[in-house]
Structure 1
Amino acid sequence: MAAGAFAYLLAVTNRSSLGVATLEASERFAVSAAQLSTLAVAQLAVYAAMQVPVGLLLDRYGARILLVLGSVLMSVGQILVAVSVEISPAVVGRMLLGMGDAFIFISMIRLINGWYSGAKASRRQQLLTNIGQLGQAVSAIPFAALLHLQGWSIAFSTLSIVTLLLVVVSLVVVRDDREPDVLHHKVKSLKSVFSTLLLNSRHPGVRMAFWTHFTLQSATSVFILLWGYPFLVNGQGLSKELASLIIGSFVIMGFVVGPLVSTVCSKYPAMRDRAVVVVSLSIVLAWSLTIFGPERVSILTLTLLVVVLSSSAPFSMIAFDYTRTFVKKSSLGATNGLVNIGGFLATFMAMFVAGLILDAVQQAQNSAGLDVGLYTALGFRWAMSVQFLVVAVGLTMYLVERKSLHRLLRTGITAV
């Protein structure tokens, strides 16, 4: 399990490394906000597109092999980013990073389900997820410090080299199941695995999981992976050092909220639905106070926003508790991959739209005779309003599928 947590920590560090390098990337590549967003969008689009294929491979070959492949791809991607002086090769590098990243999280979830079940699996899922999220702090503090002191190439090259350590750890330490002789089964054909995935996707409980991840995970990811850092520095006037600390502090809330989520899932599963709705509405409230308040919001409002957004990610793990409830362990890899698409689909769409809005606001202000930079308080006020659309779509679909699930449960059918 420690190897799985280490793998996820490195994946999160690599994934979020661009979040604290947004301003440096703007200067290095001399691009607009929409063009800059393609660095993150391309990465997450590949990540999302790979979830089902990786899930199919996971159900067929197991977590150990996929962790090795993922770490190699992430390392190669970061090297390409490190040496790029134009945005096009950097985008390719981030795409390779996204492809490698796609192998890691659901492999960790598969390891947990191979070693534990029931309430133990729920608790360890939250614990290892929280440990993995320490990668945000690694990228926000030591990586950001290295970036500012030594520059772009050295910072990203160092991260690439460290990521290669995961290859050795995976080969030496990882074992897919606690009792491989008992749990070993004949390798399934990809056709069989894909057919099972199609069957699972028809279950409303699985679709509830998808929309849970879509709504709750994306709220955090949009902030920490790209737009949160410039929002805090340019939109709210904070120092780069304080902005890095705030991004890194998201991990703290994970350790505080994670046990609560684990308790809800393991002891009070009936409360999972209510928790999803409450957290979704909290995101709307926090962003409303921020967007519709003064140009520079109070520290209290900013603290509320950070607390809500950093709590949203741990609550998004309810999605994988839903799949564990309704899907057999032998087909969890592909199903969890499908569910994992939800949050990152919402994330890269919101990121790109926010970039378009930032560019549009800058052009409108410049046309009005105001000589403003790319990132302004007004620009972020409009750009971050995209969160309202994400929650509206995600929560509506979640409630539709919850109603369908309750109808299904009344027939006596619980799982696929």
Structure 2
Amino acid sequence: MRIFVLFALGYFLSYVYRGLNIGFAPFLSREMDLTAGDLGLLTSFYFIGFALAQLPAGLALDRYGARRTDAVLLLVAAAGTVLYGMTHSMQGLIVGRILIGVGVSVCLGAAFLAIAQNFPSSRWPLLNGLMVALGGLGGVVVGTPLAIVLTHNTWREVSVGMAVVTLAVATVIWLLVPETKQRHTAHESVSKQIQGVRIILKNPVFWRVVPFPCAVGGAFYAAQSLWVKPYLTDVSGFTARQADSLVSMLGLTMVAGTFITGMLARRIERYGLGLRAFCGLGMLLFVLVQVLIVFRVPMPAALIWGAYGFLAASCILAYALLAEVFPRKVVGRVTTAFNMIFFISIFSMQVGVGYVLDFWTSENGHYPAQAHLTAWGIMVAAQLASAVLYLWPGTLTVDEQLFE
């Protein structure tokens, strides 16, 4: 319980950081005179920092363990958010956002590694889903709760407050998480660990699994961490307060989705639907929901956006799928290699939406409905293309001897 809860705290923080600019966006746009493209690029530097840190973070996880790696990197996130809250230049905001991304880059990977090392594989889908669910409560916080906080505090004060909380979480992880012995990689040379990463990234099984969940997760997190609120106000005609409520609800349904899909994954296997198929079915349904949104099919907002959040959680099952397919001693590196592609996808889609919107002229920060629909349509097309590779028939097996 101690291992699970403390790593969930770290992942919760990373999720809050991911979506802070939803609330900060109006203040940043006014203060820094940012366009949609500028705002998308600035917000996405979190994801590029996250992605660039994944491979060295994977080496650190497998070499030094989840506890030490997570706690030390959270200090980097604390430093980054202090810079972000105190700077008055675009360059300072960019550097701060990158440092935050680097600092929380290992929060999910460390949690998944700790689960893989301390629990039987039969519990991985449920515990991974529950971990993401608890961390995903950060997506609820960046909706209405953040909007309320920003009525009493500036975005700069909120940033510094986040640094204090991050420092506290790093401290309790360092002091209270028990050390897990690294049986396989603690004595491996760095060159051999790097060779293991190369083998993972060249493995065809890795590239059959990864593109579809990365496209699904990229579309969802790019929207949830920035663009869903503008979509709700500009396309659906909701007020800012109504949009904040739906953002929080979307976060809650995503939390429910990660827990429920994780709980059902193993039980569904009894009826002949394996983890790979169950994950793929959930992602296909998520794409269908987006098609309904883009074509503006008349449906209650709570229903369609609730389904959007709930079904997005299915891509998280891919972590457990990869942990099953690859040898346990490289789980840290497999997870972070997946994370790298995952967050490059989020970065690309978040920046891409901003640049697509800028093809149209904004009025008081709002864009025509056609601009948003075009951007979301492009994301749907990318997900459908990647689905073909994931669903292509064939078994997923990786020879453990490759890593000896």
Same fold, TM exceeding 0.5? Answer: yes
Which of these residues, 2, 7, 12, is aligned with residue 9 of structure 1? 12
Q: Mean Cα displacement is larger for which, 130-139 or 78-87? A: 78-87
Is 1:137–1:247's contact at 8 Å kept on the other side of the alignment? yes
Counterparts of 2:281 and 2:5 in 1: how far apart (Å)? 32
**In the alignment, what sits opposite 1:165?**
168
Counterparts of 2:131 and 2:279 in 1: how far apart (Å)? 21
% identical aligned pairs: 19
- Cα separation, partners in 2 of 1:183 and 1:125, compared to 1, 3 Å: same
- Cα separation, partners in 2 of 1:183 and 1:273, compared to 1, 3 Å: closer
**In the alignment, what sits opposite 1:381?**
373
Q: How far is the alpha carbon of 1:264 from its aligned partner?
A: 4.3
Say whether residues 1:35 and 2:38 are aligned partners.
yes
Deviations 1:151-177 (A, max 9, x none): 221121111211111121111111243
Please, what is the CA RMSD of the aligned residues? 2.5
Q: How far is the alpha carbon of 1:372 from its aligned partner?
A: 6.8
**In the alignment, what sits opposite 2:141?**
138
Q: How far is the alpha carbon of 1:11 from its aligned partner?
A: 1.2
Any residues of structure 2 matched to 1:147-162 within 5 Å, and which? 147-162=150-165
**In the alignment, what sits opposite 2:91?**
88
Which of these residues, 392, 400, 410, is aligned with residue 384 of structure 2? 392
Q: How far is the alpha carbon of 1:71 from its aligned partner?
A: 1.2
Secondary structure of 1:150 counterpart: coil
**In the alignment, what sits opposite 1:207?**
207
**In the alignment, what sits opposite 2:250?**
250
**In the alignment, what sits opposite 1:366?**
none
**In the alignment, what sits opposite 2:305?**
306
Which of these residues, 30, 42, 47, is aligned with residue 44 of structure 1? 47
Is 1:84–1:90's contact at 8 Å kept on the other side of the alignment? yes
Any residues of structure 2 matched to 1:213-228 within 5 Å, and which? 213-228=213-228
**In the alignment, what sits opposite 1:315?**
314
Q: Mean Cα displacement is larger for which, 246-255 or 226-235? A: 246-255
Secondary structure of 1:307 counterpart: helix
Unaligned runs of 5+ in 1: 364-370
- Cα separation, partners in 2 of 1:372 and 1:156, compared to 1, 3 Å: closer
Q: How far is the alpha carbon of 1:69 from its aligned partner?
A: 2.0
Counterparts of 2:49 and 2:365 in 1: how far apart (Å)? 31
Counterparts of 2:16 and 2:304 in 1: how far apart (Å)? 22
Any residues of structure 2 matched to 1:322-401 within 5 Å, and which? 322-362=321-361, 373-400=365-392
1:393 maps to a residue whose letter is: A
More helix by share: 1
- Cα separation, partners in 2 of 1:289 and 1:199, compared to 1, 3 Å: same
Q: How far is the alpha carbon of 1:191 from its aligned partner?
A: 1.1
Counterparts of 1:264 and 1:176 in 2: how far apart (Å)? 31
Q: Mean Cα displacement is larger for which, 81-90 or 224-233? A: 81-90
**In the alignment, what sits opposite 1:198?**
198
Say whether residues 1:98 and 2:98 are aligned partners.
no
The count of corresponding residues between Structure 1 and Structure 2 is: 396
Counterparts of 2:184 and 2:206 in 1: how far apart (Å)? 25
Which of these residues, 172, 175, 192, is aligned with residue 178 of structure 2? 175
Unaligned runs of 5+ in 2: none
Secondary structure of 2:359 counterpart: helix
Deviations 1:130-189 (A, max 9, x none): 111111122223333212322221121111211111121111111243xx4x94764322
Counterparts of 1:290 and 1:304 in 2: how far apart (Å)? 11
Counterparts of 1:243 and 1:144 in 2: how far apart (Å)? 11
Any residues of structure 2 matched to 1:271-290 within 5 Å, and which? 271-290=274-293
Counterparts of 2:382 and 2:117 in 1: how far apart (Å)? 34
Counterparts of 1:340 and 1:229 in 2: how far apart (Å)? 25
Deviations 1:317-340 (A, max 9, x none): 221111121112221111111112
Is 1:37–1:226's contact at 8 Å kept on the other side of the alignment? yes
Counterparts of 1:373 and 1:196 in 2: how far apart (Å)? 47
Deviations 1:26-60 (A, max 9, x none): 12211111111111222211211211111111111
